[in-house]
Amino acid sequence: NNPPYNTGAFRFELTFSPNHPLEPPCATLRTPIYHPSVDLEGRVCQPLTTHGHWEPATRAIQVLQDLLLQLDSPDPRRLLRPDVARELQERPEEFRRRAEEHTRLHAEPRPD
């Protein structure tokens, strides 16, 4: 919902293991995104879904809400791309320009 990503729609995938809910799901972004917490393969740095933090009572909607919050408000402590995180902190206007351009090139149109 926030710039620089609010002009596009992003597809992601939640994969559940046969041992769910004892094991966390895996979130993967299928749409390329210029974001410090998402690597080039679409893996997301989401502590909620790590084995050390996962609680079996956690619902899928909570995982999705956490993911959306993370994408909307990048957290410098949750990073998979240090170069992008550094750019966000040191040159925020350049980061925003690149993220907007990347969104324009790769994201799908947002549904009405």
Active site residues: 45
| Angstrom distances, CA of residue 88 to CA of 21, 39, 51, 61, 77 | 35, 15, 28, 28, 12
d(CA 54, CA 58): 7
Across 11-110, where does the E strand assignment appear?
A: 12-15, 26-29
Q: 39 is written with which tokens?
A: 């690597």
Distance CA 73, CA 97 (A): 16
Rounded to whole angstroms, how far apart are CA atoms 19 and 101? 40
